[in-house]
Structure 1
Amino acid sequence: MQNLPEGRLAYGMQLPVQSQSTLYAEAWEADAGPDDLVEIARAADASGFAYLASCDHVAVPRRLAAAMSTVWYDPVATLAFLAGVTEHVRLLSHVAVVGLRHPLATAKQYATLDHLSGGRLILGVGAGHVQEEFEALGVDFERRGAVLDECIDALRAALGPEEFPSHHGKLYDFEGLGQRPRPAQERVPVWVGGSSPAAVRRAAVRGDGWLPQGDPRERLPEQIARLGRLREEAGVTRPLTVGAITEPLYVGRPSWAVGRRTVSGSAEEIAESLRAYGAMGVHQIQVRFRSRSRAELTDQIAAFGSGVGPLLG
């Protein structure tokens, strides 16, 4: 199953405002809120973006708050809110730390989201990295990889077509418990996040897609080749949607300091840079635009959709 339209390099974006790590948040986001998210989501929906993504942290410990901030909107609530003001764009959790919750609770939330949005959910999952978060919720941090592996298997069952799903594993065991509404999709795509050897193996064997975390361009071909080898060894034949997170972008010639890593210039210049991802075997790119205001961001989204997007075929 290919989760996105074939024949071109698809593009989506992590939403601003809903997570405000100092690694990427723009200054204007500190005072932004729901109205800003609505306008940004509508702009992306109108500009051909494949998905909007929202992160997941339950609570951030004080030792990490200065860098991560404590602004992390709940992904289910955020994506459901934006489903109501958009029509086409898909809704991605990037990533849900599903090991923090029982799979039946997670399935109830995301099945409802898929049902209400008309089948637009992509469930992105990851192992998580904040130890205090796991400890506060009574989950074993050291075994989070094994927990995630079983969570994916349990969620496959719980998000499948059966009203009374069943799963019998080491950590979770359920059957005879009905959940409706069912997802609108026959198979909810599960994209696995992370770039560690364990995460890449998990994506190759269990995922419908791979969401790398911080891999620079030059490392992607090696990672993609490893995905292929692992899938071949495991006998996995279903399609895998390979993703990449691009450098920051600015469509046009910026009149302000957008940072040395930012790719800027004409639509053709940016498209030429991004087409290199497709040549590596990437199917979808996650883009982030430099901006000084919501208006500048929505202008960038529109310029990308009208100018750059058509050149990514």
Structure 2
Amino acid sequence: MQLPVQSQSAIYTEPWEAEAGAEDLVAVARAADLHGFDYIACCEHVAIPRRLAAAMSTVWYDPVATLSFLAAATQRVRLLSHVAVVGLRHPLATAKQYATLDHLSGGRLILGVGAGHVREEFDVLGADFAGRGAVLDETVDALKAALGEEEFPEFAGERFRFSGLGQRPRPAQTPRPPIWVGGSSPAAVRRAAVRGDGWLPQGDPRDRLPGQIEKLRALREAAGVEEPFTVGAIAEPLYVGTPGWDTGRHTLSGAPEALAESLRAYAAMGVRQLQVRFRSRGRDELLDQMAAFATGVAPLLED
């Protein structure tokens, strides 16, 4: 699940999150750890321009700092950047941060990456906004080298070159942490298919997912890529049980059996990891929803 509090876009944030903070993040992360959730996720924006602040808000916790903080409060749950805008910085700087996170967490990192969409962020940091797709392609290739098992990784691309430069600590995972690529545009799907270890779609509705997944498979086959690959999806907002309050017309609610039946449709499409978000009016209700999902719905989704 994507963590609450750490990003507060008007699209999905709950009112109670505006006054929440570190204690709430720790409580949710520990609940995810306790109840068997696969990962907790944190997304990235460096700075939000005034023209977008009303819709996006300016609350975007740094993913490396946040996930490192929560790694120390948990034991098992994996730590996903969903997504890191890695084209904003040199891949060796990104590798240093995320290799350290993987090392300190005992190998729990999933590095989710995306192209980004806020021009002002790129401009103020001196990054290439117009060419961000090509930059991300090369950055993913460079990160594969930099996060591998070699203490002195080597890479030679059009924009980035490095050799003879050692970085320790190395990631705990071997041969390297997985890299999942976010985005649903044709370019993002192609990037995920040929460069990623997994795909993180961005809001594709159910009726669009089968076509996207078929494109992924065709692109991987054409490129001769045979390594394991994780297809993801983001479920509709959920509420386990009868809410008794207006949770919005797009929310899936009801008994565990009904929710499980609905969510199993994702597996039938070929989805292998499903990100969930629960409607709630406060931290306690969110924790109750997580527990209800873990005990009532999740067991009905197992193969």
* SS of residue paired to 2:84: coil
Q: In the alignment, what sits opposite 1:288?
A: 277
Which consecutive segments of 4 or more residues in structure 1 shift more than 4 A?
none
Q: Which residue, out of 85, 88, 111, partners 1:100?
A: 88
> Which runs of no fewer than 5 residues in structure 2 stay unpaired?
none
Once the two structures are superposed, the pairs formed by residues 115-134 of structure 1 within 5 Å of their partners are 115-134=103-122
Give the AA of the match of 2:259: I
1:195 pairs with 2:184: yes
Q: CA deviation at 1:140?
A: 1.1
1:68 pairs with 2:56: yes
Q: In the alignment, what sits opposite 1:182?
A: 170
Task: Work out the percentage of aligned pairs sharing the same amino acid.
Answer: 75
* SS of residue paired to 1:95: strand
Q: Relative contact order (alpha carbons < 8 A, sep ≥ 6): 1 or 2 greater? A: 1
Q: Which residue, out of 64, 81, 100, partners 1:112?
A: 100
State the alpha-carbon separation in 2 of the partners of residues 238 and 140 from structure 1.
31
Root-mean-square deviation over aligned CA pairs:
0.4
Q: Which residue, out of 187, 193, 209, partners 1:204?
A: 193
Q: CA deviation at 1:100?
A: 0.2
State the alpha-carbon separation in 2 of the partners of residues 47 and 219 from structure 1.
31
State the alpha-carbon separation in 2 of the partners of residues 98 and 152 from structure 1.
8
1:266 pairs with 2:258: no
May I ask how many residue pairs the two structures share in their alignment?
Answer: 301
State the alpha-carbon separation in 2 of the partners of residues 24 and 280 from structure 1.
25
1:252 pairs with 2:252: no
Residues 106-147 of structure 1 deviation map (CA, whole Å, 9 limit, x = unaligned): 000000000000000000000000000000000110100000
Give the AA of the match of 1:158: A
Q: In the alignment, what sits opposite 2:47?
A: 59
Q: In the alignment, what sits opposite 2:72?
A: 84
Once the two structures are superposed, the pairs formed by residues 153-164 of structure 1 within 5 Å of their partners are 153-164=141-152
Give the AA of the match of 2:252: V
* SS of residue paired to 2:40: strand
Give the AA of the match of 1:284: Q
Residues 175-210 of structure 1 deviation map (CA, whole Å, 9 limit, x = unaligned): 000000000001210000000000000000000000
* SS of residue paired to 2:207: helix
Q: CA deviation at 1:214?
A: 1.1
Q: In the alignment, what sits opposite 2:219?
A: 230
* SS of residue paired to 1:300: helix
State the alpha-carbon separation in 2 of the partners of residues 56 and 101 from structure 1.
13
Give the AA of the match of 2:193: A
Q: In the alignment, what sits opposite 1:6?
A: none
Give the AA of the match of 1:182: R
Give the AA of the match of 2:219: L
Once the two structures are superposed, the pairs formed by residues 36-55 of structure 1 within 5 Å of their partners are 36-55=24-43
State the alpha-carbon separation in 1 of the partners of residues 262 and 31 from structure 2.
23
State the alpha-carbon separation in 1 of the partners of residues 150 and 29 from structure 2.
32
* SS of residue paired to 1:279: helix
Residues 45-82 of structure 1 deviation map (CA, whole Å, 9 limit, x = unaligned): 11110000000000000100000000000000000000
Q: In the alignment, what sits opposite 1:135?
A: 123
Give the AA of the match of 2:167: Q
* SS of residue paired to 2:300: helix
Residues 2-61 of structure 1 deviation map (CA, whole Å, 9 limit, x = unaligned): xxxxxxxxxxx0000000000000000000000000000001111110000000000000
